[in-house]
Chains A and B, each alone.
Chain A
């Protein structure tokens, strides 16, 4: 084994480049798009329905004559924004509860983990479906539903890693040397938890995007005429034969967003070639 005394400057690992570009590009389109595309996503034009792509309407128009491109970028803000918010909340709550379970003794541990088990007993999007359906499909119900389904994974992960780290000799050695519990948490426990959190959050982002678009597709997510990728697909479904390009646009958008998140998560999950300094 060759031992490197000096380490090469940190640079982004190769497998991270493609998914980062993909996600960054999508985010940029969604943010810049509304400024560039002159159309109102809700403006109907019943004369020009289901038109193919043209210089004026880049991806054509839908059954109500609305501009697909405009709806795509406006919908993207919501689809991606809500997904990021869901994952952000779920990560915060999940990691905090997981660490609490690892630290705060047996009773808290059992209570938190049983709650997580209970949430995991609802398969897939069932919980989000029920909450969103009952509360009438808006941003908030969707947020609550998807967050509830996501947090247990983060809690379990954080707890498992924290318990594993606390049993490590380097934690025992730090205790013997007289370091405070807070220092041990900050220096020994949090870094590995956070490293794993980033990976899981990225994968969770893909899952959240899928859940949001699925709810939209079922008519239980954001309500029309609000543009949302899943809802757009559901609205265009009857015109699949006449409007393949209009249909392909939101489909491709969802696919690329989830693909980017999945590939990024996979790339992050690979063992890091160099450990990070904290």
Chain B
């Protein structure tokens, strides 16, 4: 009861928003810390002399001398105790120094920016496309639950959800690129190159979101406040517009953020499949080449993006569902 009373005052609202932002911030920092520790542990676990490896990476295998190895050892503090090395590793990261790629010798952040551009474009297009498919379909199914469209969509969604994204992609390539020859199978130069990767992502996303949207619509349409709005004189359409849409949007928005987890699986695989030079492609290539700074950078960007998307979804849900400001469960 006391919660109900205090929620009349707006003072609690700012506090709730602040608490959400803080918790997502903690999530981001912790993710970064775990990634950094993982990478540090990996570097330590590599067989052989770390100083020798770095020297070789810097000057080329054939030009390594005992002197240069000793210099690297001193410069990088590799002769210090492990804990001190770990502290300085984390310290450098905290200052935003991600280091250089061992392969391309470019600063990590520059590579990330370059590849991130491609991924953002692909991700945004895939996400938009998925809702362009799932929203009308899900709403249509929700208005006729159990009808032929609903059952057909459900079967298709279960089938799509049972395929890793590379299967969906291979299916699309076989159909549109190899059989119909409408679209190029791989590459990144023109807009046409974007269509198949984006569609692959979108279908994988829509397979899940279409059910969420459909269920939200079914539930809202069955809710008594919709009937009651009609008892009070609204038409069915007006009741849905005024009371249905907002209530149905809440679970859908929450789910949209969770789906980002799928997007990560999706774009790592889809970019590799379509040879598309985004973050996922970079991450996989760096992993295969043991390019630790690059892997750490890419992993962090993905982790931070996940935290940011979750934060955005939290805030959208607050906007849609003011009950949450009161700190109550919806």
Contact = CB atoms under 8 A, between A and B. Distances in A.
Tell me whether A and B are bound partners.
Answer: yes
A210 B35 CA distance: 24
Contact of A123 (B34, B260, B273): B260
Contacts of B330: none
A129 B299 CA distance: 10
Given A214-B164, A220-B287, A262-B158, A123 B272 contact: no
Contact of B162 (A121, A220, A244, A262): A262
A30 B272 CA distance: 29
B299 A237 contact: no
A122 interface: yes
Interface in A223-277: 230, 233, 237, 240-241, 244, 247, 251, 254-255, 258-259, 262-263, 266
A207 to B, nearest CB: 10
A197 interface: no
Interface string B171-182: 101100010000
A244 B177 CA distance: 14
Contact of B166 (A118, A121, A233, A266): A233
A122 B283 contact: no
Contacts of B173: 240
Contact of B264 (A124, A251, A262, A266): A124
Q: Which of A210, A213, A266: most chain B Cβ within 10 A?
A: A210
B42 A220 contact: no
Interface string B278-305: 0000011001101000010001001100
Given A121-B27, A121-B306, A220-B287, A241 B178 contact: yes
A110 to B, nearest CB: 13
Q: Which of B27, B164, B178: most chain A Cβ within 10 A?
A: B164
Interface residues of B, number: 42
B30 A123 contact: no
Contacts of B30: 118, 121
Contacts of A133: 284, 287-288, 295
Nearest to B260: A123
Given A219-B284, A240-B178, A126 B264 contact: yes
A124 B262 contact: yes
B180 to A, nearest CB: 13
B160 to A, nearest CB: 10
Contacts of B174: 240, 244
Nearest to B171: A251
Interface string A132-169: 01100000000000000000000000000000000000
5 residue pairs, one from A and one from B, having the closest CB atoms: A133-B287, A124-B265, A123-B261, A259-B162, A258-B162
